[in-house]
Structure 1
Amino acid sequence: MLVYGDLQSGNCLKVKLLLSFLNIQHDWQHINILNKETQTSEFLSLNPNGKIPTVVFDDGQVLCESNAILSYFAEGTPYLPTDRYQKAKVYEWLFFEQYSHEPYIAVARFIQKYQGMPEHRLEEYQSLQSGGHKALKIMEKQLSQSAFLVGNSISIADIALYAYTHVAHEGGFDLTGYPNIERWIDAIASMEGYVGMS
């Protein structure tokens, strides 16, 4: 199995983390987005959307979109509950991550870390802060009530939201005001099989 990704990307880190936690063997193919390596005709034949992560299975089948990939590998493991409601709560957080978290925190991080805060994006950067803090407050509230986002054991909801939350400071978000998020980050980072951004 071949996984195309970049471990500086939170969306790719999600997949790498779950595969590592589950000890699933795979070959990791580093792709540099900034060098437009996702826009080659070869890559676009695998993923017409030109994005990573992208998984190519041994039989040639291809799976894209980080949270779809997480759901595929988590099925039948402790990382995705079997209870219908609990499973739906996991998916609720996965959708939250893509629509209410990533568009603010990941984009602000990209502007600050990778683009060096260009003047033409400063207003956009500032506008992302309130949305990012709103998402963090929602997470903080839930994590004040349970050890993880869905109950007291880790699920792919946590992996999905960990990816960009643990580097939120790289987008200007100070996490010191979110003690439960900080506790949660430490708990995930201390798990056996943990891999970080590299």
Structure 2
Amino acid sequence: MNILGIILISLALNLDALGVGFSYGIRKIKLPLLSMIFICLISIASLGLSMLAGCAINHYLSAAIAKHMGGGILVFMGAWAIFQYFHSKTLMPVRDIAESHTTTVPDITTLFQLRLFGILIQVLKDPQVADADQSGTISIQESLLLGMALALDSIGAGVAISLLGYNILTMALCVGACQFIFTYCGTLAGAKLSKTSMGRQMALLPGFILVIIGISRFF
């Protein structure tokens, strides 16, 4: 089993969690232990289910085709993430994180009027949206929304990872553990820092990691 591959994929799929935790730390929004555990369980379940789907597909493919297809999916996901990073920069200037304190947060009625996918994307752009009641604490109910948003990458990646031959249980547990650690460390770092550009620069890293892993599977 490729231990380095497991570690790199876990990192690539969870850098969003680091950014979310950092955002909550800056805003002094509390993310209780139970909520973090619930978020991790959602990621584990979504990755596991998508990997099971990949296993089903794998039965109809030769080992070489499955390997190349899995690598191709990872390359596409990574390239798309990189494209989105530069595309968003050209459309809208990146605001300083400190300015996000003034962001207007939709109330819970408005949130439920939006389509689910739109809400999930909105949560990733501004994690404060997940605190729908603006209580300053992410409850178990609100963590469902946040967990689903953070699990979006796992759905597509899970199929690719399965085609590459990774063990479902090992991969899902590693991704879940990494997400918990990143979210927790992000909240601690965010609580101590009020301004940084590090998170914006790190947004490119997951895309490059997925592209590198995907390309490596063609050789």
TM-score (norm 2): 0.31
- Larger Rg belongs to: 2
User: If each structure's helix is expressed as a fraction of its own residues, which one has the higher value?
Assistant: 2
User: If each structure's strand is expressed as a fraction of its own residues, which one has the higher value?
Assistant: 1
TM-score (norm 1): 0.33
